[in-house]
A and B are shown apart, each in its own frame.
Chain A
Amino acid sequence: MARGHTFVATRANTEPRWMRIVLTVIALGFLAAFLVVPLAAVLVEALRKGWATYLAALVEPDALAAIKLTLLVAGIAVPFNLVFGTAAAWAIAKFEFRGKQLLITLIDLPFSVSPVVAGLVYVLVFGQQGWLGPWLRDHDIKILFAVPGLVLATVFVTFPFVARELISLMQAQGNDEEEAALTLGASGLRTFWHVTLPNIKWALLTGVILCNARAMGEFGAVSVVSGHIRGQTNTMPLHVEILYNEYQFAAAFAVASLLALLALVTLVLKAVVEWLEERGVAAAERAKKVADSSESAARTPVPADARAGQALAVA
């Protein structure tokens, strides 16, 4: 414990050894059964008919079209939410205004709406019987059962991801550093770029990583607005569903294994970002401690690792 109080495990203040072992085994067993085994099942099922079938399922034209479409949709939805999330966090965290809590609740709303309902609302707006349906038909603009509909549904379900990561962090950080930069004559944009952004970069990255995973993997909302046109409006998860329903299990699991790989990469990236963030925070704290003590004893030399930490905190 880092609070100047050393914790010593004694018989009285922790569980008996046998109980600790039993609880650990139960917890890890639960995680293994629900997380590791399904993941392993995807890989085993994908390779059940051999590598040739596996690769054939991935390079088949409909699969390639699905992969391209998924990348395209995520490629539009994620940057949109990145810009939105950053703007929302700036407005909410850096300023005081009435109704702030209501605004945060409204931004979080898509998390508590069923993905199916998220798709449904766009059908109601853009569908044949919808508000804009007749106008869109007259002007020959396709939104539903086309890429724009897929993008909109994806933006809806991933709407809170980046904003949520940033708001609490930026609120905790306060405005002091930005105010100092502005007083020293920096422009608003320059202040954001050189002062705010370095402070929030890890949270921003985490938000983007999670947003991207959900954007590429979304099923319910996209399924409602896609129309399931093979090779045209099928994203990877929808392609998996179609193959599975046609009893092409090996092919379905082959495409699913790509999505599982995406999930694993997401987890690794998230862990790496967390590790870098912890290291940055620890180095900054060390540097601050040294800076504080060197203020009181002005001639204390600053150790090299603290200077590196300061540089890292600034970078």
Chain B
Amino acid sequence: MRAAVLDGALIGQFSRVPPRRALPGFGLTMGYTLLCLGLVVLLPLSALFLKTATLTWHQFWQTVTAPRVVASYGLTFGVSLLAATINLFAGTLVAWVLVRYPFPGKRLVDALVDLPFALPTAVAGIALTALYAPTGWIGAPLAELGIKVAFTPLGILVALVFIGLPFVIRTVQPVLQDLDREYEEAAISLGASRWQTIRKVVLPTLAPAILAGYVLALSRAVGEYGSVIFIAGNMPFVSEITPLLIVTKLEQYDYAGATAIAVVMLLLSFVLILAINLLQRWQSRRGQ
């Protein structure tokens, strides 16, 4: 019933402007698309907001501002921002090396970059935990230096860097490939140094792609669950991420509580991504 109303509204919204020559199948494919979208995505997501509405404002506020929950927002968003920032610099460097410098085995390395997309997150989680545990290949030497990675927020950072690794590389790579080197040569023939050329000519061209990759890596990191829970240690107030709190509430059959936290998390990441996009628009307007 609700689906029919929803789809009706959407079909009205997407009413068709007649094309020059009609290909067949618009009604069928559009109807099927809206039906699937409504039933699989929109209708279940709307349940999130309707469930939250069953709480009074006071209950909602108490749930989402409980000290343990607030600590988890700080951790989740703080470590996600840090991981995405690391990927911003490392990803730009890797894209630059992959496009500009020749080295043997490039095709293999290029294919391997997508590994975090293809490797199930649970596998990444236990592999990274085994590596960075105090007895692991990387964890043992670090432990001798007094650095604990696994079962601390630092471990979460490692997992989120892994998960977000391909995003910046894959957004920057095609732009860099299409970048005409004549601009760089023009800058140099006008007397700019190599470093000036990169800073004033190359980086501004890449900036939108870098930022797009950053936003993708960030939004992936904020919601990430599988790879983090193994390595995090999951100590309340210290290394407990927001998605885990949602699962914990669900396991206690506190559906409304879980939903309230999920809504806040969605809103926070929406605001964050909006802010980054606005910042970028403001920056590019100032640059003109």
Contacts and interface: CB of A to CB of B under 8 A. Distances in A.
Interface stretch (B143-151, B179-187, B206-214, B280-288): B179-187
Interface string A39-64: 10110010000000000000000000
B270 to A, nearest CB: 8
A205 B146 CA distance: 48
B37 A106 contact: yes
B134 to A, nearest CB: 15
Contacts of B114: 267, 270
A249 B136 CA distance: 13
Given A159-B40, A240-B126, A267-B114, A220 B119 contact: no
Contact of B188 (A12, A42, A109, A112): A12
Contacts of B182: 5
B40 A95 contact: no
A219 B126 CA distance: 13
Nearest to A178: B23
Interface in A135-160: 152, 155-156, 159
Mostly, the A contact residues are: helix
A7 B126 contact: no
Contacts, number: 291
Nearest to A257: B123
Interface string A102-145: 11001101111111110011111101011100000000000000
A302 interface: no
Contact of A95 (B19, B112, B247): B19
Contacts of A152: 40
A292 interface: no
Contact of B246 (A14, A117, A182, A259): A117
Interface stretch (A30-38, A280-288, A306-314): A30-38
B122 A107 contact: no
B4 interface: no
Given A15-B194, A95-B26, A114-B222, A260 B123 contact: yes
Contacts of A88: 29, 33, 36-37
A305 interface: no
Interface string A203-244: 000000010011011111001100000000000111011001
B162 A124 contact: no
A197 interface: no
Contact of A106 (B42, B90, B269): B42
Interface in B241-262: 243, 246-247, 250, 253, 255, 258-259, 262
Contacts of B17: 96-98
Contacts of B29: 87-88, 90-91
A13 interface: yes
B226 A219 contact: yes
Interface residues of A, number: 103
B14 to A, nearest CB: 5
Interface in A5-38: 5, 7, 12-15, 20, 23-24, 26-28, 30-31, 33-38
Contacts of A112: 219, 223, 269, 273
B247 A237 contact: no
A36 B112 contact: yes
Contacts of B42: 106
Contact of B137 (A3, A41, A102, A217): A41
Nearest to A15: B194
A94 B100 CA distance: 37
Interface in B96-122: 96-98, 100-101, 103, 107, 109-122
B255 A13 contact: no
Contact of B21 (A31, A102, A179, A271): A179
B227 to A, nearest CB: 8
Nearest to A95: B26
B48 A31 contact: no
A238 B37 CA distance: 27
Given A30-B94, A42-B127, A266-B118, 6 more contacts: A98-B17, A112-B219, A114-B224, A159-B40, A220-B121, A220-B243
28 contacts: A12-B194, A23-B96, A28-B97, A31-B112, A35-B162, A35-B165, A37-B131, A38-B124, A42-B126, A42-B127, A95-B30, A96-B17, A98-B17, A99-B13, A102-B13, A103-B37, A115-B223, A117-B243, A155-B40, A217-B119, A220-B223, A223-B225, A223-B226, A259-B120, A260-B119, A263-B120, A263-B123, A267-B112
Interface of B: 13-17, 19, 21, 23-26, 28-30, 32-33, 36-37, 40-45, 47-48, 51, 90, 93-94, 96-98, 100-101, 103, 107, 109-124, 126-128, 130-131, 136-138, 161-162, 165, 180-182, 184-185, 188, 194, 197, 219-220, 222-226, 230, 243, 246-247, 250, 253, 255, 258-259, 262, 265-266, 269, 273
